[in-house]
A = this chain, B = another copy of it.
């Protein structure tokens, strides 16, 4: 199930338009190249529609959001919807400020997303008000204890938004309104590098761009691939290496990732 998604990205080399924060923008561009796609970064509202028209998919990342960037994102997102091009939302810091809450509401009410990816607290911030919360306590990670409730939350949010929901963490959840997968790949070191979430969102955008009709499976493939890269990168770590080396190993691992390695190393199950 995973190999053909990865192969399709490498074969079709989709052009992915990223509107993203400046902290991790270089890593997002390089991991987009590493996974076989081509990145284009642009944020002026004057060219938002033109650039989306050239691209195969769009990734909207709310990190370091500004009023100008939000306006450009709304325009790009709506144009992508018109053109039938998939849009990924990364709600960085959702809930951290009133500004982000309001911006998130605007994005969710104006743009249809193919995938929404965040950590548990970001996904909960989105869900808040949209779907009834039950059971998911305030822990910031998906655990064996809250897994069932987190899956339920993801499914209901998917139903409400029409998007595949990805909750990143020690265990990852990937769900649409009917099916849910739990992915066990990954490494604790991923949280010691800024931008592993942002990078995953860029990879998700590449994957759904070539598999528009099966966004759930495309998302599972991207999540497994990223997690497996985290494991491979961890294995490369030597005594003096730290989070900066790890960041490099992570992108390198995506560059060298092969569909067969992915199939063999992926650890996921339907929930």
Which A residues are within 8 Å of any B CB, using their own CB?
Answer: 21-27, 29-30, 33-34, 39-44, 46-47, 50-51, 54, 63-68, 93, 96-100, 192-195, 232, 236, 240-245, 247-256
Q: List 18 A-B contacts (CB under 8 A).
A: A22-B41, A23-B25, A23-B29, A24-B29, A26-B26, A26-B27, A26-B195, A30-B243, A34-B244, A41-B64, A43-B64, A46-B98, A47-B99, A50-B97, A236-B240, A240-B252, A240-B256, A244-B252
Min CB–CB distance A119 → chain B (angstroms): 13
Q: How far is the CA of A23 from the CA of B245 in the complex (A)?
A: 19
Q: Which of A39, A63, A251: most chain B Cβ within 10 A? A: A251
Question: Are B40 and A93 touching (Cβ within 8 A)?
Answer: yes
Question: Are A96 and B39 touching (Cβ within 8 A)?
Answer: no
Chain B residues near A43: list those with CB within 8 A.
64, 66
Question: Are B247 and A252 touching (Cβ within 8 A)?
Answer: no
Chain B residues near A244: list those with CB within 8 A.
30, 34, 247-252, 255
Min CB–CB distance A199 → chain B (angstroms): 11
With A43-B66, A51-B96, A245-B248 given, name 6 new contacts (CB 8 A).
A23-B29, A24-B29, A30-B243, A34-B243, A47-B96, A244-B249
Min CB–CB distance A40 → chain B (angstroms): 7
Question: Are A41 and B27 touching (Cβ within 8 A)?
Answer: no
Find the B residue at minimum CB distance from A237: B252
Given A23-B29, A24-B26, A194-B30, A251 and B255 contact (CB-CB distance below 8 Å): no
Question: Are B44 and A99 touching (Cβ within 8 A)?
Answer: yes
Question: Are A255 and B243 touching (Cβ within 8 A)?
Answer: yes
Q: Which of A22, A24, A51, A253: most chain B Cβ within 10 A? A: A22
Min CB–CB distance A176 → chain B (angstroms): 31
Question: Are A42 and B64 touching (Cβ within 8 A)?
Answer: yes
Question: Are B25 and A96 touching (Cβ within 8 A)?
Answer: no
